[in-house]
A and B are shown apart, each in its own frame.
Chain A
Amino acid sequence: MENKEILRVLIDVFKEVFDDEELVLTRETTANDIEEWDSLNQIKLIVESERAFNIRLRSRDINILENIGEMVDYLSKVIN
Chain B
Amino acid sequence: MLFNDPIFLFIFLPIVVILFHWIRRDVGGGASMVLIVAASIFFYGWWNPPYLLLLLGSVLFNYAVTHQLLKSPSRLLLIVGVLANIAVLGYFKYRNFFMENIGLLLGEGWQFEEIFIPLAISFFTFQQVALLVDAHDGQIKRVKFLDFATFVILFPQLIAGPIVLYREMDKQFQSLRNGSGVGLSLFGLGIVTFILGLFKKVALADGIAPFADSVFAVADQLTMLEAWGGVIAYTLQLYFDFSGYSDMAVGLGMMFGLLLPINFNLPYRATSMIDFWKRWHITMTRFFMMYLYSPIALSVMRKSILSDWSKQKQFLLGVVMPIIITFLVSGLWHGAAWTFVVFGAVNALGLVVNHIWKEWQLPRPNIFIGWLLTMLTVMVSFVYFRADSIANANLIILTMVDPASLIFPNWLSYYADYLGIPWHTLSVFSSGTYTVRMVGWIVVLALLSILLKNRPLHLHEIRPTVALAISLSVMLWLTLGWLDEPSTFIYFQF
Contacts and interface: CB of A to CB of B under 8 A. Distances in A.
A59 interface: yes
Nearest to B326: A39
B358 A36 contact: yes
Nearest to B294: A59
Nearest to A31: B278
B137 to A, nearest CB: 7
Nearest to A47: B301
Contact of B290 (A36, A44, A46, A63): A63
Nearest to A48: B305
Contact of B294 (A36, A38, A39, A50): A39
Given A58-B137, A60-B133, A60-B137, A43 B298 contact: yes
A61 interface: yes
B293 interface: yes
B359 interface: yes
B294 A43 contact: yes
A64 B168 CA distance: 10
Nearest to B304: A47
B156 to A, nearest CB: 22
A42 interface: yes
A50 to B, nearest CB: 7
Nearest to B300: A43
Contacts of A51: 305
Chain B's interface: helix, strand, loop or mixed, by majority? helix
A43 B318 contact: yes
A39 B289 contact: yes
Contact of A63 (B294, B355, B358): B294
A47 B319 contact: no
A19 to B, nearest CB: 9
Interface of B: 133-134, 137, 139, 165, 167, 274, 286, 289-291, 293-295, 297-298, 301-302, 305, 318-319, 355, 358-359
Interface of A: 36, 38-40, 42-44, 46-47, 50-51, 58-61, 63-64
30 contacts: A36-B358, A38-B358, A39-B274, A39-B289, A39-B293, A39-B294, A40-B319, A40-B359, A43-B294, A43-B297, A47-B301, A47-B302, A58-B137, A59-B290, A59-B294, A59-B295, A59-B297, A59-B298, A60-B134, A60-B137, A60-B139, A60-B290, A60-B291, A60-B294, A60-B295, A61-B139, A63-B286, A63-B289, A63-B290, A64-B165
